[in-house]
Structure 1
Amino acid sequence: MNAFLPIIFGLGYTLGPITIGKALGYISIESAWLVLGLVAFISTIFMCMLEKYDENQKKKKKNFHRNRLNVKFHVLLKLIAVFLSLK
């Protein structure tokens, strides 16, 4: 993972100018900035949605482990009660 992110960033720095240079042959610079702004805005919305999803998954996992611990504790208490009642 440590080497993967620099590769992605490097590709962006390499392919970005080439792509926008070719696109400027067909559209105006104002349109290009509008498209780039729109892409950045949509990417920001997706990143916010991903963060909310990740927080919800962490809460579900935490609650799952807490409930699982409570079940184990109650089972242990019942086993102790059964053991003490046998004496």
Structure 2
Amino acid sequence: MQLDLSNVDSIVAWWRVFPERHDSYLDFKLAASPEFAHSILSARRLIDARPDLRALKPLAPLAPPSALGWRVPVADAIDDLAWIEADAQD
């Protein structure tokens, strides 16, 4: 499955596959790639508006977030990317 972050239907279809993991990835992409904010927020509104999709939304995790998939605080992820890019240039 390919994800087109500029297409609301693509985001929703992709999100349905694994909401627990894809929800946190969309949080990351929203902060890291503001050019996709409109489509990501529109997809979230669609998910919230449809009862069948809303039922798939992850509840508060019972296990630590690391056990459910990667949930990296956005600031840490950006710092890590900057470090990786700087290291690659050396």
Tell me if TM exceeds 0.5. no
Structure whose residues are more often helix by fraction: 1
TM-score by length of 1: 0.34
Of the two structures, which has the highest relative contact order with CA contacts closer than 8 Å and spacing of 6 or more? Answer: 2
Compare CA radii of gyration and give the structure with the larger one.
1
